[in-house]
Structures are given as structure tokens and as C-alpha cells.
Amino acid sequence: MSATGLELLINLGNTIAMKFKILAIISIFTLLTVGCTTGVNSDQPVNEAQPITRTNTQPGSFVAGEYPTQGTVKVLTENGKRYLEFNGNFKTSKGPDLFVILYRDDTVPTSGIQEKDYLKISRLQKTSGNQRYAIPNDVKLGDYQSVAIWCRQFNTTFGYASLAR
């Protein structure tokens, strides 16, 4: 084969390779464009946002027990679930083993509370600011008159608030 024939064959190979590359790029672009497009199917049900149903009690104000405690707490019912909600002004002292409890009377002794008189709801999340605690469904709120911040280790009440009825 002559040099010109070989050159012609190489040029033809390069042209075919170039056309193949262009075809491959166009194919990939088309697949990505079509594959990433989502169609709207009018037969599918649309999930509409459900309205949040809320009911609140009047807030009760925290008073100091053994330590300064301030802010308010209210019982909030949201979509059938009850919560104790502390407002942004809530603040108490730091301490070990702090819990949020429901107490049977509307005033809570500063120390020495009896196990039969309270129900532990949760560990205290933080010593200040907005917080929310789920109230178990089986709890009869009518049996409790107040919410307290209680130190289990020393059986000391840091502060409490009467629950509004």
C-alpha cells in the first residue's frame, strides 16, 4: 500500500472515530435530558398539608423552690398529642439529675417529695429557653396540679408552676 493510500485510510478512521464521539455525546445528553425530566401524572393523589389542630391552656408561671426559676409552662394539645411547653423566658439553675415532673398539688415542697405524689415526664433538656415535653397518653392530667423541675439525686425542687385549668 502506498503512503497516500495509508494516509487516506488513517483519515477515514479518524473521521469515523470523530463521528462516533459526537454521536456518543449527543446520546448521553439526550438520555440525561429525558431521564431527569419528571412528568406530572394527574392520576396520582396529591398529598395536601394537613391542618395542625392546637389547643392551649393558660400558662402557669414558675416560682422558685430551692433555686431561682422563672418563665411559664402551658399544656399544649397538637393533633391529639399533649405536651408541656416551656416558653423562651424559662430559666432555672444548673444541677445534677434534673427532671420535669407532674405533681399532685398546686404547690410543691422544696424537698422530700414522696414518690406517690409525682410522675416523672422526662429529664430536663436544658436550663433555659423554649422546650417541649410529650405527656404520655395514659396520664390523667386532672390528677396533677403543677409542673416542677426536680433534682432526683437530692430530692429537691428547683422550681414549679401551677397548671391552669
- pLDDT, tens digit only, all 165 positions of the chain: 666 666 665 666 666 767 767 766 776 656 555 554 444 444 444 455 455 556 667 899 999 999 999 999 999 999 999 999 999 999 999 999 999 999 999 999 999 999 999 999 999 999 999 999 999 999 999 999 999 999 999 999 999 999 976
pLDDT at residue 117, as a whole number: 97
Number of domains in the chain: 2
Same domain, 100 and 127: yes
pLDDT at residue 24, as a whole number: 66
Same domain, 15 and 66: no
In contact, 72 and 58? CB cutoff 8 Å: no
Same domain, 66 and 143: yes
In contact, 118 and 150? CB cutoff 8 Å: yes
pLDDT at residue 125, as a whole number: 98
Same domain, 64 and 127: yes
Which pTM was predicted? Answer: 0.68
Same domain, 89 and 123: yes
Amino acid identity of residue 55, one-letter, is: T
pLDDT at residue 23, as a whole number: 67
pLDDT at residue 41, as a whole number: 45
Residues with Cβ within 8 Å of residue 129, at least 6 apart in sequence: 86, 88, 90, 91
Instruction: Please compute Rg for the chain using Cα positions.
Output: 34
Same domain, 72 and 142: yes
Same domain, 158 and 88: yes
Same domain, 83 and 139: yes
CA dist list (Å): 18 to 9, 11, 28, 31, 32: 14, 10, 15, 20, 21
121: nearest Cα among 150, 79, 96, 142:
150
Same domain, 77 and 144: yes
DSSP 8-class letter at 115? G
Element (H, E) at 11: helix 3-35
pLDDT at residue 35, as a whole number: 54
Element (H, E) at 35: helix 3-35
Domain membership flag for residue 47: no
Domain membership flag for residue 154: yes
Domain membership flag for residue 42: no
Q: What is the largest CA-CA distance in the chain?
A: 110
Structural domain range at position 74? 54-162
Cα gap 105→161, rounded to integer Å? 11
Same domain, 29 and 59: no
Cα gap 69→6, rounded to integer Å? 94
